[in-house]
Amino acid sequence: MKKIIALSLITACVAMANPYAKCAGCHGANGEKAALGKSKIIKDMTKADFVASLKGYQDGSYGGPMKGLMKGQVKGMDEATMQAIADKIAK
């Protein structure tokens, strides 16, 4: 049990230090992958389009086959975090 709590805390700290960390598993370290072979390559998106897509996932107005998965990933993400990720990854 202590190991699970410690791992959860480490994961949370990494996510706070690098908000893109939880995205990299599917999208690649630099946003270069089509997540699960289905998404757009986010490094090729403009910052404005990237942020708009994240907001769309949050409110349900954007997305294809991964819409349900992404809604959970961006739930609770604020605009500052979205912009920070866009600044790191998008054009």
Query: 3 in a domain, yes or no?
Result: no
Whether 44 and 53 have beta carbons less than 8 Å apart is answered as no
Instruction: Read off the pLDDT of residues 19-72 as tens digits, 9 standing for 90 and up.
Output: 888 899 999 999 999 999 999 999 999 999 999 999 999 999 998 888 999 999
pLDDT of residue 66: 83
Whether 71 and 57 have beta carbons less than 8 Å apart is answered as yes
pLDDT of residue 13: 44
What total number of domains does the chain contain? 1
pLDDT of residue 2: 56
Range of the domain at 62: 21-87
Whether 51 and 79 have beta carbons less than 8 Å apart is answered as yes
Query: 4 in a domain, yes or no?
Result: no
Query: Residue 69 sits in a domain of what CATH number?
Result: 1.10.760.10
The pTM for the full model equals 0.77
Name the more confident of 84 and 91.
Answer: 84
Query: 13 in a domain, yes or no?
Result: no
* Cα(48)–Cα(46) distance, integer angstroms: 5
* Cα(62)–Cα(64) distance, integer angstroms: 7
Whether 26 and 41 have beta carbons less than 8 Å apart is answered as no
